[in-house]
Structure 1
Amino acid sequence: MSRLSAIESDVLDVIPVGSGQKIAIRDVGQLVGIDERTIYEVINNLRKKGVPVCAKRSGESRGYFIAQTESERAEGLAAYKSQVQDMTKLITQIEAADLDKWQLAVK
């Protein structure tokens, strides 16, 4: 694994290991003192460096965690996989739209 920058190390230090406890992005920001956009970038950098940072994006216990098991990894990937499916459907719909006659279809 590549060496971590100071900010990557700070963010990693506040993300819980295991899905039993998760941390919301706003809480990461408050603890580390950075904005949400930067946190997203840092988390993506950590993932690129091999850290299995996952997120639960819906329900009551939302937040980031570091996966320890395949089950936790699957939990953390579920929302991303669903989003990919939704985006694939959207791409198909836009590609299938008639560029010349779409206005007739909605009248």
Structure 2
Amino acid sequence: GGRDWSGLAGSVLCDACYNQFMKKGTLERGKPGTLVRGAARSGLKMRCTYPGCERPDESRHFYPIDGEKKAGGRDWSGLAGSVLCDTCYHQFLRTGTLVRGA
């Protein structure tokens, strides 16, 4: 498919990841800042990167955050490069902080 596979040398990919790389040339799914649904089903292992997350591996939905996100009128730039689970994403969306009870 005209892709540079050298970065994946020695890796074992599931069918979903193999097809993703063949089509897009990357293992990244979706655009930055968009919902990634069914990560486990697609073979994509995601984890909430917020250190205070109580269940970083247990969300069904994950949100890769880029610094340009404007959802809820919040400034997401401090979270650029993070991946948030559904609970942490909605916590920040509602309150502007990831700290619970703040």
Alignment TM class, shorter chain as reference: under 0.3
Q: Which has the higher helix share?
A: 1
Q: Could you tell me the TM-score, scaled by structure 2's length? A: 0.23
Q: Could you tell me the TM-score, scaled by structure 1's length? A: 0.23
Rg comparison, structure with higher value? 1
